Chains A and B, each alone.
Chain A
Amino acid sequence: DADVTQTPRNRITKTGKRIMLECSQTKGHDRMYWYRQDPGLGLRLIYYSFDVKDINKGEISDGYSVSRQAQAKFSLSLESAIPNQTALYFCATSDYSGTSIGELFFGEGSRLTVL
């Protein structure tokens, strides 16, 4: 089984619908991230969380919200989806240690299409 699991892997929805993307991890890491990937733009940070009680906005948080339900679970919500939120979404964890920035471990991605 994958260490970082995202569900659903693919989703097609309509404008105005509420969508939740879920992420769970078995790596035991405190730090979790949601990124969005668009062609030619690389990965852009949406939200990140350094522990269960910590939530921070990233570069492109408008139109998104998150919930850190437990150390292992971090979900991303689109309250009212719009077509320009069509993208590939990645959840990641980090093994940051305090002395090293660590490494990002990614899930396999959730492809979202908003019609």
Chain B
Amino acid sequence: TQLLEQSPQFLSIQEGENLTVYCNSSSVFSSLQWYRQEPGEGPVLLVTVVTGGEVKKLKRLTFQFGDARKDSSLHITAAQPGDTGLYLCAGGKSNQFYFGTGTSLTVIP
């Protein structure tokens, strides 16, 4: 059983559209991270959020940590083909990282 469930699992959109990816759990985490993975490579960290309700922006990406520290969302504004990849959330708990099920995003030019 996965501690963290992501939705949607697959997302295919046109360049310029907006999208939101969700990461949900019934467990509380001390921190929440988002990673992006491209084919043939390992995941790379995008952001870490540690405070309930925290919002962080990274250019066109906005990350939010839920007030109860059980969920998170990633919003991308005006998606570009370079945003294509697998997005993974990861919750920090008891000195371990628990990964979500992943969202595969394809941005069509």
Contact = CB atoms under 8 A, between A and B. Distances in A.
Given A101-B31, A107-B42, A42 B101 contact: yes
Given A48-B96, A109-B42, A101 B48 contact: yes
Interface size of B as a range: 20 to 34
Nearest to A45: B96
Contacts of A33: 97
Contacts of B2: 41-42
Q: Is the interface of A mostly helix, strand, loop or mixed?
A: strand
Contacts, number: 61
Interface in A80-103: 90, 92, 94, 96, 101, 103
B48 A106 contact: no
Interface of B: 2, 4, 6, 9, 30-31, 33, 35, 40-45, 48, 50, 88, 90, 92, 95-102
